[in-house]
A and B are shown apart, each in its own frame.
Chain A
C-alpha cells in the first residue's frame, strides 16, 4: 500500500511505514514502525496518525489493538485483483485522492486483461523448503490465468499452500517459475517434468512485481504475458 500511496502522490502524508516497504527508494527513509507481520503499536501511536492502513490477514492483531485506541483504520485484504482495485479506489477516497486512485485503477484494469490464448500449465514456486506455491485465492493466480497460463495448483483454496513434490511431478507443468534464488534443475526425481525437459524454467522474474498488490503488478503481468507467448 505504501507503493499505492506514492503513486497517488500522497507520499508527503505518510508518517511511517514497515521495514518491508522498500519501494520506491524514498519509502526507505520514512520512520519504521516494525516489520510487516509485527508492527509495534507503541511506535504507530507515537506517530499520531490520522489513519492507519492495515493489511489482512497478517496484521489482524495490530488492527484490533488500534481499534481499542480509537485510531482510524483502513483495512485492505488483497486476495483477488478485484479486492486490490476496490482497496485502491476506497483508499483514494479516504485520503482525498479519488481522481488519482480512479485513474490508477483504470490504468491497471486496462493493462491486466485476459489475452485469450490457449493456456499453458505452470507451476510457481515461492520457497523450496517446504515447497510453497500459490493457490486459487491469490491475485497472482488470476494474473497467471489472464496472461495465458494455468496454475497447476489452482484447485487448492489456500492462497499460499505448501505442497508435496510428488504432486508437482504428477501434475507435470509445461512451465516452471521460480521466485527464490535456489536452482531446481538437478533435483532428484524432477528431470522428467515437461518444463525441465524443455528447459522452460524461469528464474529471473521480479517477485515484487508479482506478489505485491500494487501498481507494479502491471510490469509483472507484462513479464508473464511474454513468458506464455
Chain B
C-alpha cells in the first residue's frame, strides 16, 4: 500500500469513527450533530496542520506554528473580549483579534533591520505573551464566562449551533478553503525558500513579499479556526513533522499530507475525548496527551 493510500485511509477511518462512535444512538438528529463535529474537525485539524507546514517551510524553522506568530493568541484575546462584552458575534471578534495582532507583529518586525523572517518570529512570540496576559486579566475579572474562555483556550469541537450560526460557519469554511488553495499554489517557492533566504533571493524569489503574503494568509486562517473551535494546540506544530517524515521535504506533497493527517488526527482525538467520559473534555487536552507519546515513538524509531 502506498503512503498516500495509507494517509487517505487513515482519514476515512477517522471520519467513520467520528460518525459511528458516540454516546447517543445514531439517528438523523444525532447524525447532524456528528457531521458538524466531523466538518469542524477536518477544517480545524487540516488547516492547523497545513498552516504549520507552510510556516515551518517559510521560516525554515521546525518550531514555528500558527501559535508562535501571535495570530492565535490575538484571536483568543479577541474572542475572550467578545465573550465578556457582548456575548455573541464571537467569530468576528476572534477574527479581528488575529488580524489586528498579525498586523501589529508585521509592523513591529518591519521596523527593524535584519531578515524579516527572524524578526517576525520574535515579534510574534512577544505579542503572544502580551495577548496571553491580557486574556488572563479578562479571565480574572470575568464571572461565569470564565469556563467559556477556558474552553476557548483549550479548544473543543462540541460547539452547539443553531441554523444561523451554521450559515456563518459554512461561510468561514468556504473562505478558508479559498485561502488554502491560494497558499498551496506557492509550494514551489516554499521549496526554494527552505534552502535559505539568500539562496532563494538569488534564484529570483521575492522573499520579502512572499513572507508577507504567507504570513497574513496563515494569520487569517488561524483566526478562522480559533473563532470556530478555539485554540487547539499541538496539531500545527507536530503534524508537519510527521508529514515531512513520510513524504519528504517537497511541499507539493507534504502540504496536502499535513492537511489530511491533521484532520485525521484531530478527529480521532475528538472521538476519544467524547467517548471516554460523559464530561465534555476539551479536545486540545487530548491532542497533546496522545500526540506526544506518538511523536516520541515515531522519532525514536528512526
Contacts and interface: CB of A to CB of B under 8 A. Distances in A.
B32 A165 contact: no
Contacts of B29: 169, 188-192
A16 to B, nearest CB: 19
B274 interface: yes
Interface of B: 22-25, 27, 29-30, 32-34, 36, 87, 140-141, 143-144, 146-148, 151, 156, 158-163, 166, 274, 278-280, 282
Nearest to B152: A129
Interface of A: 20, 35-38, 126-132, 153, 156, 158, 161-167, 169-170, 180-181, 183, 186-192
A130 B25 contact: no
Q: In this complex, which of A132, A165, A170 has the most chain B Cβ atoms within 10 angstroms of its Cβ?
A: A165
Contacts, number: 91
Nearest to B165: A188
Classify the interface of chain A: helix, strand, loop or mixed: loop
A130 B147 contact: yes
Contacts of B159: 129
**Those 4 A-B pairs whose CB atoms lie nearest each other, nearest first:** A189-B33, A170-B24, A166-B24, A189-B29
Contacts of B282: 130
Contacts of A131: 158, 160, 280
Contacts of A181: 87
Contact of A164 (B27, B32, B163, B279): B279
B285 to A, nearest CB: 12
Contact of B160 (A153, A165, A192): A165
A8 B65 CA distance: 58
Nearest to B23: A166
A129 B151 contact: yes
Nearest to A36: B143
A162 B24 contact: no
Nearest to B141: A35
Nearest to A156: B278
B143 A129 contact: no
A38 B282 CA distance: 25
Given A128-B160, A156-B278, A188 B148 contact: no
Contacts of A186: 162-163
Contact of A188 (B22, B158, B163, B278): B163
